[in-house]
Structure 1
Amino acid sequence: MTLRFGYGTNGLTDLRLDDALALLADLGYDGVGLTLDHMHLDPLAPHLAERTRKVAKRLAELGLDVTVETGARYVLDPRRKHGPSLLGPDPQDRARRTDLLLRAVRVAADLGAQAVHCFSGIVPPSVDEPGTAWQRLAVSLTPVLEAADAAGVPLAVEPEPGHLLATLADFHHLRGLLGDPPALGLTLDIGHCQCLEPLPPQDCVRAAAPWLRHVQIEDMRRGVHDHLPFGEGEIDFPSVLAALDTSGYQGLTVVELPRHSHAGPHHATTSLPFLRRAADTPPATAPKRSAP
């Protein structure tokens, strides 16, 4: 297989960024999913371009590729998780989230990143008409997509359980609203597929392949949005990784364990051997799971 594995820094928040990057390089990872947050590369602190150049130099020294992720919980608001969103009632709040994504595009371009990840946000209680939320999302993302297109870095939107854009079908709805812009791609979280998609995760990979720009991976159970260490959920990883390998996907497959930072070095150490074993296991030897 030609798959390339990374680990997300949102699962290593107790480590300094340089220490996290050195750990991943020492363990043999191909890259990193870099979440822009206050404890690592703070997108709101002064001298962002200068700090980004230093990170780019370090990544090059360590031989690590990178994707830029924007799912930090409190980077914009210390009181509201993932707030403000692209869907809120206040235009200035929505503009703050758009500005964060524009900063992420600039960071990604300076790092030579493969993609910028984002998600839609949860529909506010004040929104009675779904069309209103979709319109806000489309308007908010338009300048980000224009910047991403100019920078040559795809914007990879992630279907997130509980959000407006929660499924692959929702991603295609957004594509239609925006007129299928070339910079718009997809982040596929394999656990989310297990959690709520009608198709098994390996079939989701095949269906998503033409738009796939970023992949996150962890274990998960059906109907429960809880990112689990490998082996603690229900996912057939040999089949998933085989589907990724044959799909033509060229990006990083990034381990996503944000709630396990307290044991981040341990999970980073054990996750890569698990994935490599699964990648070397023929799918036919794994238990077959029927579609839910």
Structure 2
Amino acid sequence: MGEDATDTATAAFVAYRNLLFTVAYEMLGSAADAEDVLQETWLRWSRVDVGRIHDQRAYLVRITTRQSLNRLRTMKRRKEAYVGPWLPEPLITAPDVAEDVELAESVSMALMIVLERLSPTERAVFVLREAFEVSYDEIAAAVGKSPAAVRQIAHRARRHVDACRPRAVVSPSEARAALEAFRRALETRNVGDLLAVLAPQVVLVGDGGGIRQAALRPIVTADKVARFIVGGLGRTDGVLTGDLTVVNGSPALLVRLNGEIDGVMAIRVEATGITGLYYVRNPEKLTRLGAETPLTLR
């Protein structure tokens, strides 16, 4: 590839890098793996005759999708050997992500956990179609299926996801208010205040990855979750505090124990209160908390 072609290829890749990262992250739930996919995408893109590519965005998304599918299949083995529940890697995101309702939902912890239930191909089709509005023909080229098959896969994946989505979506201000009430109850370890903000069938999922202590199974019902938080998170007499932040486009807490970062707590809020608490303590998933990660659907 000549120097001019290399410059053109580099400029195109840089222009779409945040988009490609978002595609890979939504498919994988891991920023580290998404970065590896981007490296592989660049290597393949740098060998393409860019001058013959009509739609650079579509071509780059296609490469990223194929590499993400390959990575998803290898990640399956890692997840099978993972200690306890596996949660997506939390990302600190800019305020504009939270303001973009479509983007915020597509990268929310709650939705990404639902996507874990899909097959790799279903997840790729759902992400490309629902989040990025890629055409069925382009998705077919990316996943190696016919457009008709892709339509069927998209319908099936959408049905699975819709069945697990929140029954009643609350406004961002209501979500922040619920999180603030939860933060106060967390810091005071007041069971009554926790019960007031938790939905009756709330689920707490912890991810320690076998490195940090966490519940090996989801904890269900407000009473059990409240008592676990009061007696389990801080253990004995540790000082538990929460800093309000935005994770994956939604309000979340950066939890500290005795001043040191202990983990990230993302929440899912419905009309009945907080229905989901997702607590990532695995230090390997807490490496990107020092800066915002740019995400985009465009």
TM-score range, shorter chain: 0.3 to 0.5
Q: Normalized against structure 1, the TM-score is what? A: 0.32
Q: Normalized against structure 2, the TM-score is what? A: 0.32
- Based on CA coordinates, which of the two structures has the bigger radius of gyration? 2
